[in-house]
Structure 1
Amino acid sequence: MPADDSTDKPVSYYRDLGDGRWESTRAVQGAWNEHEQHMAPVTGLLTRALLRHEARPGLRLARIGCEILGLIPAGEFTIETTTVRPGRTIELVQAEMIANGRPVVRATGWRLATTDSTPVTGLTVDPLPGPDQAEPYPMTEKWGGGFIESLTGRVLPDHQPGRGRVWLTTDLPLVEGEKTGALEHLMGMADAANGVATRVHPAGGWIFPNVDLQLHLLREPVGAWLGLDVSVDFGPDGVGITSTVLHDEIGPFGRSLQILTLREMPGTQQPTP
């Protein structure tokens, strides 16, 4: 981390150094390791890169798929963007984060042509009660790291291990000196879903990091608050899944999935989730 971030409160998650080079601040610090970046702001920055790469009117991002290729180190890195599959109505673009000479996260985005489908619009999920109807949710009581510290959380009733409904927001811009769009802002918190309704306490005998993040977007989201309606399932052979319906203050706008590697850590005692 840059030295000034150890004493000063970060004013953003990232700094643009120019020529495709970037620098993280303490606000991206991960929850599992102090020296790595949390995947949530990484997703926001890669979403920004996908949006800006050869943008075309009439097409929008409908799916963002992130593969975590290893530990994401804090500090300087680069982002490279490419068009994988050009098309008039369907297009696949890619943004890759490279740190210390190796790719650490690869994000692909399907762009689809937009049309008027209001005559057949229909939803199977009800909107969440808004953040004004929820109670404060201090995530720092369970998780450490600069990213979690940067969030404001609100929790809805009936929260329990493996099942929860939470609202999140942050006052920090994604990039220093730049206004953050709603999509980058909300995607920059979506990976936190794996930490809001944990089945086991992260300080206990098990760890459960995700190795991917798949985001499917029914419509363009709006606003500053991200609602997460989360279900966490653990299988019998070391694999889990976090499934989330994504909401803004209008209603549901998409879904996310995260595959988890579930590992027992010897010599620890499980606290209450």
Structure 2
Amino acid sequence: MRHAERTASDQTVAEGAALPELADGDSYYVSLGGGRFRSTIHAQGAWNAHEQHMAPASGIIAHCLALHDPRPGLRIARISYEILGLIHAGEFEVTVRTLRPGRTIELLEAELAAQGRVAIRANAWRLVTSDSSAVAAVEDRPIPPIAECERWDGSTEWPGGYIRSLEMHRAAGHRPGSGTVWIRTAHPLVGGAESPDWVRLIGLVDTANGIATRVPPGRGSWAFPNVDLQVHMYREPRGEWLGIDNSVSFGTDGIGLTSSVLHDEQGPFGRAEQILTLRKS
């Protein structure tokens, strides 16, 4: 769950100041055309009411990367997101360009800018696909299926419209610092637009930093926002459910790490990492 280095004035809305007008609706975003979008209440962040959650924000960037000069026979295998500042709620723009063109390997870059500054910069490797089934093997272990997990309401721990938009199921053995959760959403990423399964699932991955919190978030405890999100996919995921099997480590000098193995209903398909800045709240 998102964040980056920012000033104290960025982190809270001044007392008595109005929150941005967050549109309601079925989707996380409304397209305004030309790479411009408006966030709805479903994209609202957990750390601050006037920002977007990194999860749907990373999803809308993945959506734009998927639309950029599509290449049959290639797919995105890794996306690296750097969170450069508060992701303002409301209107914003996503721009995409090809940094390194190639016949079998390409590097793309995307930027999400809001209120005159870049909030997220992402690089994505797009690689040629081929039949490697003869040597295919996976070391990541499967997780309990959804039917064996109990329904969990993440909004009892986290505020914000994004968390309220999710259906979540938690596996047995869940504890602070380690847990397994299945997540899906009934809301489309962009109103009136189709997104591939992998894009919609990428738009849920950043939830990982909030599913097995080592310490409760909030005043009088610790804040542990992530400043990045790295997603590697050795298989293209399918379906509507994202399984996250994660662990959270806190170091002794104010830095932590959330590490996750990512699953769909067919099994594991990749990994995610989030570096954390630990701050006494």
| TM-score category, normalised to shorter length | over 0.9
Say which of 30, 42, 59 aligns to 2:74.
59
Report the residue type matching 2:252 in the other structure: P
Q: Which runs of 4+ in 1 moved over 2 A?
A: 1-5
Does structure 2 conserve the Cα–Cα contact (< 8 Å) formed by 1:91 and 1:111?
A: yes
Does 2:251 align with 1:235?
A: yes
Deviation at 1:4, TM superposition (A): 7.1
Deviation at 1:2, TM superposition (A): 6.9
Does structure 1 conserve the Cα–Cα contact (< 8 Å) formed by 2:22 and 2:40?
A: no
TM-score (norm 2): 0.91
Q: Alpha-carbon deviations, 1:161-215, whole Å to 9, x = none?
A: 0000000000000001123320111000000000000100012410000000000
Report the residue type matching 2:26 in the other structure: V
Say which of 167, 182, 207 aligns to 2:223.
207
More off after superposition, 252-261 vs 106-115: 106-115
TM-score (norm 1): 0.94
Say which of 139, 143, 158 aligns to 2:154.
139
Does 2:273 align with 1:257?
A: yes
1:254 alignment partner, SS class: strand
Distance of 2:63 and 2:256 partners within structure 1: 29
Equivalent residue for 1:27?
42
Distance of 1:247 and 1:20 partners within structure 2: 30
CA RMSD of aligned residues (A): 1.2
2:134 alignment partner, SS class: helix
Report the residue type matching 2:48 in the other structure: N
Q: Percent identity?
A: 54
Distance of 1:49 and 1:3 partners within structure 2: 24
Report the residue type matching 1:235 in the other structure: G
Structure 1 segment 1-273 matched on structure 2, within 5 A: 3=21, 5=23, 8=24, 10-203=25-218, 204-265=220-281
Q: Alpha-carbon deviations, 1:66-122, whole Å to 9, x = none?
A: 000000000001111100111111110011101111110011110111111111111
Does structure 2 conserve the Cα–Cα contact (< 8 Å) formed by 1:65 and 1:109?
A: yes
Distance of 1:176 and 1:95 partners within structure 2: 21
Q: Alpha-carbon deviations, 1:103-161, whole Å to 9, x = none?
A: 10011110111111111111112221211211011101100000000000000000000
Does structure 1 conserve the Cα–Cα contact (< 8 Å) formed by 2:22 and 2:90?
A: no
Does structure 2 conserve the Cα–Cα contact (< 8 Å) formed by 1:2 and 1:25?
A: no
Q: Alpha-carbon deviations, 1:191-244, whole Å to 9, x = none?
A: 000000010001241000000000000111000000000100000000000000
Provide the aligned length of Structure 1 versus Structure 2: 262
Structure 2, unpaired ranges of 5+:
1-18
Report the residue type matching 2:105 in the other structure: I
2:256 alignment partner, SS class: strand
Deviation at 1:33, TM superposition (A): 0.1
Structure 1, unpaired ranges of 5+:
266-273
Report the residue type matching 1:220 in the other structure: E
Does structure 2 conserve the Cα–Cα contact (< 8 Å) formed by 1:207 and 1:264?
A: yes
